[in-house]
Every structure is written in structure tokens, then in C-alpha cells.
Structure 1
Amino acid sequence: MPTDRRLKTANTIHRAVLKFSGGMLGTTFKGMPTIRLTTIGRKSGRSHTVILTAPIIEDDTIVVVASRGGDPIDPAWLHNIRANSAVRVALGHGPDRPMTARVLPAGERDALWPDVIAAHPGYADYQAMTTRTIPLVTLTPLG
């Protein structure tokens, strides 16, 4: 399981690669597009940005997986969006735009999970590593 320090270090490096390459590098990972997700900390009230992969992008809807590498606990960004669904999202090296995050309820999550696995089979490995059901989140533009 990845440690908090390892996850934070990987995100810091990924953001730096995106920034210093002018978006030429780091816009995909393991064949999936990357996004920058900015949430508001549920305790601190400060902005927090993470780099995530998006196995499904359909029209203006982006699907992200709260896998945390198969860890038994949810990622901090998921707790933040449960407290405040207003987020900012940038696809690849593009500009941030305001979006709404929605954690899918069990039925919708279960219906979409096979599509996530079809897009990136590695998520099935993450699910097998943990007893929690890994949540799926949709990100949609405001309005």
C-alpha cells in the first residue's frame, strides 16, 4: 500500500513535470488522461490539488476512481468532496474550470464499474487488494 508521504511525493513530482514541460509530459499515465483536481479541505478550508487518472471521459463528464492504490482507506480528496462538492478540474495541462463532484451511489457505481475495468484493468487489482468498495466519482461542469 502506498504511504501518505509516497502519494504526496508522487503528486508533487507529477505536478512539476506538467509545469516544467509546458504540458508536453505528464498528461497521461498508464494510458489514461490525467487531471488536476482541486478540492477545499474539509478541516483546513485550504485548497488541495492532486493529480488523478481519468479512465472514462464522456462529453463533459469525467469519471475518477478513489482507489488510493488499493489502500483500505479512502483518499483525503474523497473526504473533501463529500464535505464540499464544488471542485476545480484541469484536464491534462489545460486551465482549471469549476465543476461539481458526485460520489456515485452503490447502484450507479456497480453499473459503471465494468466500464472502468474495461478502460483500465488495473483498477480490478486495486479492488482485490482491499475490503472496501472503491468509490467512483463523476465530475461535471457547473450549470
Structure 2
Amino acid sequence: MVRVVDVARAVLAPLTRTRVFRRWGPIVLPSVERFVTRLTGGRVQLSGLLVPSLVLHTTGARSGEPRDAPLMYTPDGQGRAIVAGTNFAGERHPAWTTNLLAHPDAAITVRARRMRVHASLIADTERDAVWARIERQWPGYRGYERDSGRTVRLFRLQPIADDAP
């Protein structure tokens, strides 16, 4: 039996590659995402209804201030996650990628559970395999990289064990 999520992905995935979505998605979606997150106390992310989603908590590269970014992620086994800095196929890298390069120790919240992670940039030799994994989850997602004209930064987020007993 086909799951509702699979049907929704099949319908929505092509829409996310349109000019209209790329123009208005970055403007509308973050506000809607924040509203739903506040409304549910962080237990529900709008994007999480279709794909695995998390909130990445970074430290600003220049400001040193805490920054949050809701993101789609791809599970990578052993609790690890892969995130892609597609920025809706924009010409510039999203700020959260610059933050991770400057401060790779960060945190994520998944289903209202917060955990510390260490981010590492995916090596060039792994990029094709990682993109293939991502596209099994969201077909055509690498098109954002092609359309942006830049090499999208891919990160692996590795959980860090808490020091507390």
C-alpha cells in the first residue's frame, strides 16, 4: 500500500523545483515553520510531515550569537544526519553553512529532542554517493546544486555523547 507521505512527496517534489517556489519558498516557509514550531512546542515541523527534518542550532560565524535553521536531513546511520546547503538553489551559500565551517560543534533538535553534534564537510570523493542517498529520499534535490551554479556544501552531523553520567 502506498503511504500518504510517498504520494505527497511525488506531488510536491516537482513543485519545489519551480521558479515560483524558489522565489517565494525562502520568504514564506521560514515564517510558517517558526509559527508551527511555536504552536506545537517544537514537536512538529511543517517540513517534517514530508521529509525527516531538524532544527540546526549554530553559533554565528561573525556575531557569535546563537542561530537556528530548520532543515531537511537525510539519515546516515548510527544517529548521523546529512544536511545540504542548497539555499533554494540561490547563488549564495546559506549562512548556517558558514556558521558550521567556523564553529563545527553545534546542536540539533529532532522531534523536540535536542542533542549536541559535530559537523564535518563531506569530502569531494563522497559527494556523488551522498547525493544519491539524499535523492532516494527527495528525488531531484541535486538539481538545486546544478541550478545554483555553485558546489553545495554537504555536512555530516555526528552526535556527540554527553559527558554527564
* TM score, norm. by length of structure 2: 0.74
CA contact (8 A) 2:56 2:68 kept: yes
Quick one: higher RCO (CA 8 Å, sep 6+), 1 or 2? 1
Please list, as runs of the form range in 1=range in 2, the aligned pairs for 1:22-61 lying within 5 A after superposition.
22=41, 23-24=43-44, 26=46, 28-29=48-49, 31-61=50-80
- Percent of pairs with identical residues: 22
- Give 1 or 2: higher strand fraction: 1
The aligned counterpart of 1:134 is 152
SS of equivalent residue, structure 2 residue 70: strand
User: Moved runs in structure 1, 4+ residues, more than 2 A?
Assistant: 5-13, 21-27, 55-59
SS of equivalent residue, structure 1 residue 36: strand
The aligned counterpart of 1:96 is 114
Question: Highest Rg: 1 or 2?
Answer: 2
Q: Counterparts of 1:12 and 1:100 in 2: how far apart (Å)?
A: 27
- Give 1 or 2: higher helix fraction: 2
Name the stretch that deviates more: 75-84 or 125-134: 125-134
The aligned counterpart of 1:14 is 33
Q: Counterparts of 2:25 and 2:46 in 1: how far apart (Å)?
A: 18
Deviations 1:24-72 (A, max 9, x none): 452615x211100010001100000010011334231011111001112
Q: Unaligned 5+ residue runs, structure 1? A: none
